[in-house]
Amino acid sequence: MATKGKAKIKKDRANDFEASIARLAEIVEQLEEGELPLEESLTLFEEGIGLARASQRTLDEAEKRVEQLLGFDSEGEPITEELDVEDDVEQD
């Protein structure tokens, strides 16, 4: 049962990441058009910065997980350790 919960968390995070990237693309498109009032542009810019930072954190976590999976110790042996998804979730 815990495995299903972890799988759902991973899927939710992937969906959140994809949704954030899609929303960020929309914001960039709107800002590039240059037809919005200043205050609305600033509000969108602020939202975009938040989405970009959150997405970067997600990418950094994914990179860390890949490094753990592909890591080798000083003797050239693969490093094998169980990834703790729950620690990642608690940080959000």
Spatial CA neighbour of 18 closest among 65, 73, 26: 26
Condensed to tens digits (0 to 9), the pLDDT of residues 55-79 reads 999 999 998 888 877 877 777 777 7
Structure-block tokens of residue 27 = 């914001």
> How many domains is the chain partitioned into structurally?
1
| Burial (CB count <10 Å: 0-12, 13-18, 19+), residue 2 | exposed
Segment 3-12 mean pLDDT: 64
Condensed to tens digits (0 to 9), the pLDDT of residues 20-55 reads 999 999 999 999 999 999 999 999 999 999 999 999
Q: Which domain holds residue 43?
A: 2-91
Q: Could you tell me how many residues make up the chain?
A: 92
